A and B are shown apart, each in its own frame.
Chain A
């Protein structure tokens, strides 16, 4: 083989690894910066707010002359979003019911009225909005639930994504609260599953009177944050313990009895709060964060936020 051919082969082999790069450099297919949402911030009410905005825009658009709206039935509207996309809205007054008990509805449900009550079981892949209070007297399974008033859950409620309640919530029957739950106040009187719950006040089980406990003469106060690489167990029986700081552990944390943690609780594994323990205080927001599991047993109080990437369980 001549030197020229060898040189040519050498040059081809030398440039070979760069060819895909040269093509990409010229064609510029992938030149956008990593997307950062500059408006993003941590807001537990995010889903509810976003959906409310979406709904307001959708309903607001009804008045626009260029909007194509079709009245399918007396309480059903079909709104054209774009050429390929439609939204169907079903509007109810004072009650919430579907035509078929096992309806796999694809419509947005809006129920208006001061006190809305379910009339039939409901199963839908879309969002339900209640413009008033809601009493869940029949099983509901839905993608998301937005309640502008209070909610009373007397039957099974299964939320697949989020629930946003602007008023108080009371859970009297077994429920699944989806990925994100937001309430003003929440009273849990029955077992439920969750991933994230935010409420100014979360009362699990029968509320114990904190002031009564404070009057006890036997109170121990610990000031400062407790941090450990191993498990932390804080348990009292006869006297009240107040911790004015946070609890942080690489392993699990158990808080049991008449214990009041005024700060946050953070664990890389699991957290168990039970039998009268309190986290946070009135008019302040504190968090209970566990990577794998949060377990709330019998009765306890949390002022603020519960968050787990694993599973959250309330056992009553």
Chain B
């Protein structure tokens, strides 16, 4: 019986792997050979909305000046812009830097969160900042990012479409040349954005809001949450969307101030970006991906830092999986393909854990002499699946993205993705276990900030 279960699991994991391969093959084909969908970036409109730019910061003295200077240099009208750097319990010179800039530039309004009793972490910091942010549109950058002069406009202009809940730009690593890790992360990022995100946008699937180099509608986030609260309270309204404005106003009093703060981002969930992606899609709004809105970031230069980062991403993403898988399938605002893509996106950080179990499973079966699973066909299937995905991640996707970006030589590093795969397999699995623990024990996870490597300027 046990052996049968182990064999069924091998078949299951092979199928799941093939499903992912098929998904990424479709994405690659779509990006390489079909017409690309354009967003609203070419629109020039003199009536731009008031925008709040939020920058979560925790001990960011190495990078704070760079991002503030880049935002000061932005061509977005300053009378329609406020910049709120969120100083989240920094113990270095972040506070002094922010205060210095706020004195010179009145539209820079730092939020210092220094009280010990305040909850730490990006979602908690964003929630507090969102309470004071005056912009209808909120743009978020991590502190290590360097936006171009026109990027805020490039992101914000897309909100002329009332169906757009959030917009995501492209992340480009700046410190590529540092070491093998940064070079590999550069290829990974390139594939993830240039091919994966763009294809999902082309195919009207689920492009992801990534929590930085992105923007969203503040009022919409609040509205959706209030609708959910109202539903829970009154148990009357079955549809999340299409509620007239008056009924929303009437229901406002049902939501307490504490609830309102939680309405923005769930402070327990580490992946606030993935959470709002699904919150918007489930409720009938879209996330647009803007490939042109490119922004430099700093990649981790140290394997330990990368391990922490990917473990945190995995934990957060899996928290969202537990929270949103059922609502995704219940949603009447999504079609079957979107639900399938959404599911594959939700389980993407669970998949390495399942694969790890699959590898262990195959080893057990091998040593028990039970590798004959149905027929040789299944073995071939498993090998094909593993070679396509397991060795080099979706190598074809990385290859096409490098080609589109005009990279010539770095594509030769592709075989090293085997080691990245093993690395990701382990730390992503740990992240899944973290998320599982947080759900079962009802405990919040600790937010581990990614260490910066830039030299202070």
A interface list, Cβ under 8 A from B = 17-18, 20-21, 23-25, 28-34, 36-42, 44, 198, 224-225, 227, 246, 248, 263-264, 266, 268, 284-287, 289, 291, 304-305, 307, 309
Contact = CB atoms under 8 A, between A and B. Distances in A.
A33 B180 CA distance: 14
A33 B296 contact: yes
B65 to A, nearest CB: 15
Contact of A227 (B161, B173, B408, B414): B161
Contacts of B360: none
A20 B75 CA distance: 44
A94 to B, nearest CB: 36
A15 B418 CA distance: 12
13 contacts: A18-B415, A24-B412, A25-B180, A31-B410, A39-B149, A40-B150, A42-B44, A42-B150, A227-B161, A264-B45, A284-B46, A287-B43, A309-B38
B115 interface: no
A30 B75 CA distance: 32
A42 B153 contact: yes
Nearest to B160: A246
Interface residues of B, number: 46
B431 to A, nearest CB: 27
B149 A38 contact: yes
Contacts of A284: 46-47
A285 B45 contact: yes
Contacts of B43: 264, 266, 287, 289, 305
Interface of A: prevailing SS:
loop
A287 B42 contact: yes
A37 B148 contact: yes
Contact of B44 (A21, A34, A38, A287): A287
A165 to B, nearest CB: 18
Of listed A41, A284, A291, A304, residue having the most chain B CB within 10 A: A41
Contacts of B75: 41
A45 to B, nearest CB: 11
Q: Which 9 A-B pairs have the closest CB atoms?
A: A41-B150, A30-B409, A31-B177, A20-B412, A285-B46, A30-B410, A24-B412, A17-B415, A29-B409
Contacts of B46: 284-286, 304
B296 A40 contact: no
A266 B153 CA distance: 17
B305 interface: no
A18 B148 CA distance: 37
A285 B157 CA distance: 13
A33 B38 contact: no
Interface in B175-189: 175-177, 180, 183, 186
B411 to A, nearest CB: 8
